[in-house]
Amino acid sequence: MSKSFMFSALYAALVFAGQHYMKPRPKMNLRLPLVLWSLSLAVFSIIGAVRTGSYMLHILSHGGFRQSICDQSFYNGPISKFWAYAFVLSKAPELGDTAFIVLRKQKLIFLHWYHHITVLLYSWYSYKDMVAGGGWFMTMNYTVHAFMYSYYAARAAGLRVPRPFAVLITSSQIAQMVMGVTVSALVYRWMQQGDCHSRLDNITWATLMYLSYLLLFSNFFYQTYLRPLPKTTKTQ
Q: Tell me the catalytic residues.
A: 115
Collapsing DSSP to helix, strand or coil, 157 comes out as coil
Q: Is 166 exposed, middle or buried (0-12, 13-18, 19+ CB in 10 A)?
A: middle
Assess contact for 38 and 153: CB atoms under 8 A.
Answer: yes
Tell whether the torsion through CA atoms of 144, 149, 151 and 152 is positive or negative.
positive
Angle at which helices 80-90 and 110-127 pack, to 10 degrees? 140
The total of other beta-carbon atoms located within 10 Å of residue 66's CB is: 12
Nearest to 139 by CA among 98, 172, 165, 110: 172
Cα torsion 133, 139, 142, 146: sign: negative
C-alpha dist (Å) from residue 145 to 30, 33, 39, 45, 188: 21, 19, 11, 6, 27
Q: Around Cβ 164, how many Cβ atoms within 10 Å?
A: 10
Nearest C-alpha neighbor of 72 from the set 142, 126, 143, 141: 126
Q: Exposed, middle or buried: residue 86 (CB in 10 Å: 0-12, 13-18, 19+)?
A: middle
